[in-house]
Amino acid sequence: MTRRSAIAGIIAVALAGVTGAVHAQTDALTPTGRWSVDARGSAPVPPMGWNSWNAFNSDIDEEKLMASANALVRTGLAAKGYRYVDIDDGWWLKRRMPDGRLIIRTDSFPSAITADGATSFRPLTDRLHAMGFKAGIYSDIGRNSCGQAYTSNFAHQPVGTRDEREVGLYGHVRQDIGLFMGEWGFDLIKVDGCGIRAMSPDNPLVKSGAYRVLGPLVDYDTLPRTDIAAVRGLYESVATALGETRPRHDYVLSICLWGAADVRSWSRFVGQMSRTSEDLSPTWERMLHNFDSAVRRELYAHPGSWNDPDMLYVGTGPFAADHPVEARSHMALWAMLDAPLMIGFDMRKATPALVDILGNPAIIALDQDPAGNQAVLAYDDDTVQILVKTLADGDKAVAVFNRTAAPADAVLTAEQIKLRADADITLTDLWTGEVSHFTGEDALHLAPHQTMILRIKGAREHAAGLYLSEQPGRVNPAIDGVVEPEADPLIHRGTLTWRSTRGDGEHPHYGGWGGARADATPYGQTLKVGGVVFHSGIGVLANSRLEVRNAGFRQFSARVGIDDSARDRHAPVQFLVYGDGRLLAQTSPLPFGGAPTTIAADIAGVRIIELVARGEAGTRFPDPVTWGAAVLDR
Ligand code: GLA
């Protein structure tokens, strides 16, 4: 860029700031030149480990925990990357008064006994650290825990007066984070949200005086009744306290809001992993539910902050080792999602067959691939889904997933993998090691519930570079254009096991509908502008700003326009490309219905590219726009 055009760019940016001041939403489109995904914690790849909840519920103690830790070492799983050992609900006795220090349940954790009665987890975390593990602990963002709110018949509930039973972080964030992550030496904290969801004035437990009223800030069933900003603010305060306690930022903040509070829209700025749904149950239908809650969020997972469809149930019920097809599917799908891999099984009972599934190095390598690209849906229906994940070395991982209990036929095409249809494609089946080849397309036969998982080499369809939709780990929809959060309807609604069919059924819950997508529009349609179909591209709403991390590419190009699926259609959209905050290229405002317009920019030496689609300011439901065939070339 010449000096003159650089100055023009700065003026354009400054002007955008001025007009934007009128509409807060437009203002957010001003480029920042920054990558805004949280870099305060440490999760360059999805955390892996073991957590007590799925195995033991709240009935956890030191013996069970250490037995599982020892089993992770003995079976070789620790060496394969399962390095976090996390205590979930059930560890706390009470909050000591008047100083508010949390006291550990020492009859479950005898090593926590101290002479002065203050109790300490330090001996336990020291032991885990000496074994090469990292240690995790559990709390709640409200005053009370999930066990207290929903399952007071569970083992190990806090005891004492009402105030002593307020074991959650609310009002104690700095004190508790200092205790957990400083004095006690934990490395990960899972922060649940029941205390801001359940303690409403009409809760009988509140009415009876057992617990204090708080909010509720989260209305799980009605997104517009949730105070999203307040919830985010509370979790922000935890992230701030973590930074103070751990100035080296060697911690993981695990946000457990079960997809509520539109957490999809903000978790990547706050924590390292974030639950996308309600708790997983060991049933096939709920596995589908949790999988679906993350599978269309490929642009919301990045190195440093991951989608968390919940801890693994591999080993239990339909995912037990004697159901190897289902157990492998669950494992392979979580790896394709770049999900944290947290074993939820009593490892004292692990068989070699189960260890083989959890420990398959080729599957683990997909999850832990340093590029951090969550898989993208290349084919999607209610029977078969094909997911493609681009790996750091350029290989592709492909999962062909039969969701149903009947056998299914599928055809995998070179185009779906973005490989050339006229060149040899080599497949390695990651469960069997079997190698095969095809050209063009391959007919596959899937057993009921089977996920075929393949590592693939071939000639790239676009040899000069990489489509943006092949590198979602480098594309962050910093502003995705969603103004009014809407629940995502595309999620399988399996019966919730603990509720059974009481009430009137499952409803769409999780904010995320209209979020940015790779190779699809925000509402799940094929990308299409002026009748031109793009099988590669980014779909996002107007009034959006995408941040793209450049990895040494020299040229950006795309073919852009308002997507043909738009409903409002009346306002034009202008597309702008920035490099490290400077305007590099722009279109004129493009009306609906025209042919796609080419936009290109020289991005040599640029670190952060920003792609802005500026539509009518102040609109509540912006139209979808398409960055078709968006590509970075060498
Ligand atoms: C919530 C969480 C679970 C678990 C329990 C503990 O339900 O989502 O993962 O931590 O609380 O009570």
Average pLDDT, stretch 85-114?
Answer: 98
Q: Is the domain of 452 the same as that of 565?
A: no
Domain assignment of residue 122, yes or no: yes
- High-pLDDT (> 70) share of the chain, %: 96
Q: Mean pLDDT in the chain?
A: 95
H-state helical runs in 296-360: 324-336, 352-358
Q: In the listed set 255, 275, 295, which residue is the last one of a domain according to the structure?
A: 275
C-alpha 139 – ligand 1 centre gap (Å): 10
pLDDT (0 to 100) of residue 27: 83
**pLDDT score at 22:** 39
CA dist 438 and 449 (Å) reads: 24
Q: Are residues 139 and 257 in the same domain?
A: yes
What is the three-class DSSP state of 618? coil
Residue 322 is assigned to a structural domain of this protein? no
Residue 169 has pLDDT above 50, yes or no: yes
Residues 107 and 238 in one domain: yes
Reduced to 3 states (helix: H, G, I; strand: E, B; else coil), residue 199 is: coil
We report the CATH number of the domain holding residue 121 as 3.20.20.70
Q: How far is CA 608 from CA 35, 111, 480, 552, in A?
A: 7, 49, 17, 11
End position of a domain, from candidates 275, 298, 323: 275
- Kindly give the pairing relationship between strand 527-529 and strand 532-534: antiparallel
- pLDDT tens for 267-307 read 999 999 999 999 999 999 999 999 999 999 999 999 999 99
C-alpha 219/C-alpha 390 separation (Å) is: 37
Closest atom of ligand 1 to 279 CA is: 8
**Mean pLDDT of all residues in 125-144:** 98
138 CA closest ligand 1 atom index: 10
Write the pLDDT tens digit of every residue in 100-110: 999 999 999 99
**pLDDT single digits (tens) 143-152:** 999 999 998 7
- Find out whether the beta carbon of 279 lies less than 6 Å from any atom of ligand 1: yes
- Residue closest by Cα to atom 11 of ligand 1: 146
Residues 427 and 472 in one domain: no
Q: Which DSSP symbol is given to 293?
A: H
With a cut of 70, say whether residue 17 has pLDDT above it: no
CA distance 279 to 89: 14
Same domain for 221 and 126: yes
Element (DSSP H or E) covering residue 4? helix 3-22
Task: Indicate the pLDDT class of residue 21, thresholds 50, 70 and 90.
Answer: very low
The confidence score (pLDDT) of residue 9 equals: 35
- The verdict on residue 291 lying in a domain is no
HSE-CB at 134 with a 13 A cutoff on CA atoms is 18
Ligand 1 atom 1, closest CA: 146
Tokens read off for 220: 């799980």
pLDDT in tens, 214-255: 999 999 999 999 999 999 999 999 999 999 999 999 999 999
Q: Which of 56, 88, 218, 277 to mutate to test the pocket of ligand 1 (most atoms within 8 A of CB)?
A: 88
* Residue 455 phi, psi (nearest 5): -105, 135
Mean pLDDT (whole number) for 359-366: 98
What are the angstrom distances between the C-alpha of 170 and each of 34, 214, 348, 403? 32, 10, 36, 41
3-state SS assignment for residue 233: helix
One domain, residues 117 and 236: yes
Whether residue 136 has its Cβ less than 6 Å from ligand 1? no
Q: Percent of the chain scored above 90 by pLDDT?
A: 94
Q: Do residues 472 and 455 both lie within one domain? A: no
Residue in 57, 145, 146, 157 to alter for ligand 1 test, most ligand atoms within 8 A of Cβ: 146
CA of 292 relative to ligand 1 center, distance in Å: 19
Coil, strand, or helix at residue 539? Answer: strand
Report if residue 335 sits inside a domain: no
Give yes or no for residue 140 CB within 6 A of ligand 1. Answer: no
Helix (H, G, I), strand (E, B), or coil: what is residue 380?
strand
CB 560 within 8 A of CB 495: no
CATH number for the domain that contains residue 449: 2.60.40.1180
Higher pLDDT, 210 or 16: 210
CA of 518 to the centre of ligand 1 (A): 31
User: Which atom of ligand 1 is nearest to 278's Cα?
Assistant: 8
Within a domain: residue 196?
A: yes
Question: How many domains is the chain built from?
Answer: 3
Find how far residue 355's CA is from the centre of its chain. Answer: 25
* 144 Cα: distance to centroid of ligand 1 (angstroms): 12
pTM for this entry: 0.95
Average of per-residue pLDDT across 427-445: 98
Q: Is the Cβ atom of 61 under 6 angstroms away from ligand 1?
A: no
- In terms of domains, do 584 and 616 share one? yes
> Where does the pLDDT of residue 3 fall: very low under 50, low under 70, confident under 90, or very high at 90 and above?
very low
Average pLDDT over residues 430-443: 98
CA of 18 to the centre of ligand 1 (A): 46
Q: Give me 354's structure tokens.
A: 């189960």
Contact between residue 112 and residue 176 where contact means Cβ atoms under 8 Å apart = no
For the Cβ of 280 lying below 6 angstroms from any atom of ligand 1, the answer is no
- Is the C-beta atom of 89 inside 6 A of ligand 1? yes
Note whether 577 and 616 are same-domain residues.
yes
Ligand 1: residue of 254, 279, 280 to mutate (most ligand atoms within 8 A of CB) is 279
Dist. CA 534 → ligand 1 center (Å): 41
Does 486 map to a domain?
Answer: no
Distance 76 CA to ligand 1 centre (A): 28
Residues paired with residue 400 on neighbouring β-strands, in sequence order: 386, 452
pLDDT computed for residue 154 by the predictor: 85
Question: In the predicted model, is pLDDT for residue 11 greater than 80?
Answer: no
Does 265 share its domain with 396? no
Say yes or no: 429 and 475 in one domain.
no
| In contact, 404 and 386? CB cutoff 8 Å | no
Each residue of 185-199: pLDDT tens digit?
A: 999 999 999 999 999
Does 421 lie in the same domain as 471?
no
Confirm or reject: Cβ of 53 under 6 Å from ligand 1: yes
Q: What number is the average pLDDT over the span 434-462?
A: 98
Q: Which of 144, 146, 190, 196 is nearest to 168 (CA)?
A: 144
Is the pLDDT at 90 greater than 90? The verdict is: yes
275, 291, 313 — which closes off a domain? 275
Residue 450 lies in a domain: yes
Domain at 584, CATH number: 2.60.120.1060
Tokens 């999988």 identify what position? 291
The answer to whether residue 7 scores a pLDDT higher than 50 is no
Pairing mode of beta strands 341-343, 48-51: parallel
Tell me if 147 CB under 6 Å of ligand 1: yes
Indicate whether residue 192 lines ligand 1 (CB < 6 A).
yes
Q: Is 222 part of a structural domain of the chain?
A: yes
Domain range holding 415?
Answer: 376-462
